[in-house]
């Protein structure tokens, strides 16, 4: 419990910031290189995002890491990329749900806790984002027929990112970059 109330170290803050920047830059490059939001680039950018998220959660095992990562990520998206403010509440609720899911196993070694947190974060964030989309399109609900497949394809990429994240963590542990 004392670790929860202790301050963040500079190294932990830098790691969270670097991973937030790396995830934003890499997903933007994948979307641009893929020619826009086609199914392959959509799944690829979600795969890379989730992989980096799992690695970051294994590197920084402090309560609130997912919340801090989400806030930084959404601030960059809103200020630099013009993302909508309406996506902030679903992402924050998803991050809170991910943090709650990771709380019981916070001290356990291995990537299982990080994978659980990332999976809950992705599922909750995407489901609530669909709810926000439905709220804005409720006058024309047929538009949701176009949105749901894109979110489903993105979520398939996120599920793939959970598996590649575990492999990346295993390799980074072998290299000595991630300890614990």
Predicted model pTM: 0.90
Specify the pLDDT at position 111: 80
Q: What is the CA radius of gyration of the chain?
A: 16
Comparing CA positions, the residue from 52, 147, 162, 168 lying closest to residue 113 is: 162
Cα–Cα distance, 61 to 178 (Å, whole number): 11
The domain tally of the chain equals 1
Residue 128 lies inside a defined structural domain of this protein: yes
Residue 24 lies inside a defined structural domain of this protein: yes
Residue 158 lies inside a defined structural domain of this protein: yes
Residues of the chain with pLDDT under 50: none
Residue 125 lies inside a defined structural domain of this protein: yes
Specify the pLDDT at position 2: 56
Residue 180 lies inside a defined structural domain of this protein: no
Residue 105 lies inside a defined structural domain of this protein: yes
Comparing CA positions, the residue from 32, 25, 72, 68 lying closest to residue 49 is: 25
**Containing domain of residue 127, as a range?**
2-175
pLDDT digits (tens, 9 = 90+) for 28-38: 899 889 887 78
Specify the pLDDT at position 115: 92
Specify the pLDDT at position 180: 67
């Amino acid at each position: 419990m004392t670790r929860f109330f202790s301050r963040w170290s500079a190294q932990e803050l830098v790691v969270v910031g670097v991973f937030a920047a790396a995830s934003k830059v890499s997903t933007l490059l994948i979307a641009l290189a893929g020619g826009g939001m086609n199914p392959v680039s959509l799944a690829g950018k979600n795969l890379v995002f989730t992989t980096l998220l799992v690695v970051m959660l294994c590197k920084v095992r402090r309560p609130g890491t997912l919340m801090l990562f989400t806030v930084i990520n959404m601030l960059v998206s809103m200020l630099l990329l013009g993302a909508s403010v309406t996506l902030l509440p679903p992402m924050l609720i998803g991050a809170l749900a991910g943090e709650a899911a990771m709380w019981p196993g916070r001290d356990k070694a291995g990537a299982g806790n990080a994978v659980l947190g990332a999976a809950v974060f992705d599922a909750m964030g995407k489901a609530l984002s669909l709810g926000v989309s439905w709220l804005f399109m409720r006058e024309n609900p047929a538009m949701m027929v176009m949105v749901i497949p894109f979110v489903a394809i993105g979520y398939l990429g996120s599920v793939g990112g959970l598996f590649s994240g575990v492999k990346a963590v295993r390799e980074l542990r072998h290299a000595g970059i991630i300890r614990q």
